Amino acid sequence: MSEARKKVLQRFEERLARLEALRHEMPARWQIFHLHNALSALPHDHDAADLHLDEFDRHDLAKEYPELEADKVPTVEEIRSRFDMIAGGAI
């Protein structure tokens, strides 16, 4: 087994253990979503799994590095406002 694959497996195990510890607090949906995507990619492409784990970690990193907030998902209201500007009354 390659070192890169071992690192991804270890990262996954650490994130899974963290979610298991939060079982009674109900982990956030996004945490489960990213961990599930990493698990799906793991057997075939450990690099893709590693990217999903990066997304899992991004939320915690945003607390330390506010500049990551630029990658935040917009609210529904922000999407509506931008769409209305683009559509410009055409609908």
Our count of domains for the chain comes to 1
pTM: 0.62
pLDDT value at residue 70: 54
**pLDDT over 70 (residue 83):** yes
Q: Among 85, 88, 62, 87, which residue's Cα sits nearest to residue 73?
A: 62
Note down the domain range covering 31.
3-87
Q: Chain-wide mean pLDDT for the chain?
A: 82
The residue assigned the tokens 């075939």 is: 44
pLDDT value at residue 47: 92
